[in-house]
């Protein structure tokens, strides 16, 4: 408590010193006695001037040290908040696409993807394209109900996208511009907005009057029609994960959390 009072008192020293210096200047008394010898030459007014100067020097040093300490503390606090924001975005991104890491999708035909860039392999794209979105997944929710693949993909995308939006809103003033730019681009990418978040509409359009009709994940194939939006999505996702501090695979690509 006493230390805080001293620190607050330091803020008042500069104007007090300035006032004292002005008073001394107005008095105009001699500061030096040419007839005396040694330190005796310094008059009482001279000693007062020296005391004012010494006080000003000490106050300046203390204020500079305090300001630097406060700046360091503020910088460290901002860095900690920034890292928390990045961590929240990283978890939200992984939540958005966690079904793609499910072993049941790959059916031992391909290795389970470790990184978003693994989803760009032709073999994995062909394997993913054969997934019947209208079939039952091996995932079970809290009530152990059967969940179809398209429901699982859409639900994960919806919850993950909402988590990303919330994190961007909370930490907007702390996140680096490149994190904001890449994550926002990911959030509004065509594959996420028009494929994953609206996947139920795609299922309805392709099942017609047969609710059990198979609907393959055909729009992930490596072809001229779907390449741009699919590849853009995984590329942005990988960049966002890297910027948010994701661990890397042996190949140097960002690694999924799950």
For residue 2, pLDDT beyond 60: no
pLDDT (tens digit, 9 = 90+) per residue, 4-44? 665 566 666 666 666 666 566 555 555 555 566 566 666 77
Closest CA to 17 of 44, 47, 49: 49
For residue 195, pLDDT beyond 70: yes
How far is Cα 113 from Cα 119, in angstroms, rounded to an integer?
7
Of residues 42 and 165, more confidently modeled = 165
Indicate the average pLDDT of the chain. Answer: 84
Single pTM value for the model = 0.77
Mean pLDDT in residue range 156-183: 96
Place of tokens 């690509």: 253
Of residues 21 and 123, more confidently modeled = 123
For residue 230, pLDDT beyond 90: yes
pLDDT (tens digit, 9 = 90+) per residue, 208-221? 888 889 999 988 88
Q: List, as one string, the DSSP characters of 104-125.
A: HHHTTTSPPPSSGGGGGSHHHH
> Rounded to the nearest 10 degrees, how much is the dihedral formed by the CA atoms of 122, 124, 127, 129?
-70
Where is mean pLDDT largest: 3-17, 45-59, 185-199, 215-229? 185-199
pLDDT (tens digit, 9 = 90+) per residue, 107-116? 777 888 999 9
How far is Cα 155 from Cα 133, in angstroms, rounded to an integer?
13
Percent of the chain with pLDDT over 90: 52
Mean pLDDT in residue range 225-244: 92
pLDDT (tens digit, 9 = 90+) per residue, 75-92? 899 999 999 999 999 999
Which pLDDT score is estimated for 68? 86
């Amino acid at each position: 408590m006493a230390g805080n009072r001293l620190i607050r008192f330091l803020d008042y020293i500069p104007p007090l010193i300035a006032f004292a210096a002005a008073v001394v200047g107005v008095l105009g008394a001699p500061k030096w006695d040419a007839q005396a010898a040694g330190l005796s030459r310094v008059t009482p007014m001279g000693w007062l001037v020296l005391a004012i100067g010494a006080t000003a020097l000490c106050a300046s040093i203390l204020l500079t040290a305090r300001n630097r300490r406060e700046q360091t503390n503020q910088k460290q606090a901002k860095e900690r908040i920034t890292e928390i924001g990045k961590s929240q975005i990283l978890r939200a991104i992984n939540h958005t696409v966690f079904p793609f890491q499910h072993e049941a999708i790959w059916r031992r035909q391909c290795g389970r993807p470790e990184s978003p860039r693994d989803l760009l392999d032709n073999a994995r794209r062909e394997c993913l394209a054969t997934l019947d979105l209208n079939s039952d997944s091996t995932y079970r929710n809290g009530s152990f109900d059967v969940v179809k693949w398209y429901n699982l993909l859409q639900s994960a995308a919806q919850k993950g996208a909402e988590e990303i939006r919330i994190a961007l809103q909370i930490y907007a003033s702390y996140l680096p511009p490149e994190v904001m730019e890449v994550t926002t681009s990911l959030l509004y990418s065509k594959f996420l907005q028009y494929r994953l978040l609206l996947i139920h509409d795609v299922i309805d359009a392709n099942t017609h009057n047969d609710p059990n009709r198979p609907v393959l994940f055909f729009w992930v194939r490596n072809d001229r029609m779907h390449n741009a939006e699919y590849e853009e999505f995984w590329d942005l996702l990988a960049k966002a994960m890297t910027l948010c501090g994701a661990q890397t695979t042996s190949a140097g690509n960002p690694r999924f959390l799950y």
